[in-house]
Every structure is written in structure tokens, then in C-alpha cells.
Amino acid sequence: MAVSAIAFKAKNKEDRYLCDGIECGDWSDEFLDTLILSDAMLIIRNDLSKPDNVDLENFYKFIASLPLSNDVAFINDNYDPVEVELTDEQLNIVRKRNGW
């Protein structure tokens, strides 16, 4: 079963995504952008239904609420939100890493 999610694809880079923290980053890339989808920053709904624009807006609001954060501008300048599909194996990797 494939699960829909939103990832943040790096602009002007082929198959690279914003990583889900430094432990998931590719150290050969200047921004740690990853080639591995299960290591990417992902928006996944709790009920595993397809995320929509409201989910994306809520993500941006959450990032903007973090102290001393200018991450929303960085994300918008360097990444495009894209719909992706995760395999069960990829979803399990994300679940284990994030403790859910």
C-alpha cells in the first residue's frame, strides 16, 4: 500500500529533498539535502490520507512559530512542496525514527 505525503524537493537539484534533521542529511550536500525519500522532511496525515494545502499551511505556521525561526523563508526560497508516495517500508522507517 502506498501512502501519500508531501516532501520538499530541492530547487535546481535532481532528486534531492530537505532532510528530516541532521541525522538524516547527506553530508556531501551543502544543505544536507537527501536522496533518500524516507530521510526527507515529510508531511504525513495521522489517518494516512492524502495531505492537502491546509496541512501544508499548518506545517508552515508551525515552523514560523519556532523561536528565532526564519526557516519558512529558507524553505520557500530553496524547496518546492511536492506530492510523493511512500512504500510501507519507507513509512515504517519514518515511523520508527519519529516514534509513532
In a domain, 100, yes or no: no
Provide the mean pLDDT of the chain.
Answer: 93
Q: Whole domain around residue 68: which residue ranges?
A: 3-92
pLDDT given for residue 69 in this prediction: 67
Residue 40 reports pLDDT greater than 80: yes
Q: Quick: pLDDT tens for 51-71.
A: 999 999 999 999 888 886 667
Distances (CA, A) of 25 to 48, 58, 61, 65, 77: 25, 24, 23, 23, 19
In a domain, 82, yes or no: yes
In a domain, 97, yes or no: no
What phi and psi, each to the nearest 5 degrees, are found at residue 17?
Answer: -130, 155
Q: Quick: pLDDT tens for 6-19.
A: 999 999 999 999 99
Nearest to 4 by CA among 36, 34, 33, 47: 47
Distances (CA, A) of 30 to 13, 23, 83, 84, 85: 12, 14, 24, 23, 26
Q: Report how many domains make up the chain.
A: 1
Cell of 55: 496541512
Residue 20 reports pLDDT greater than 70: yes
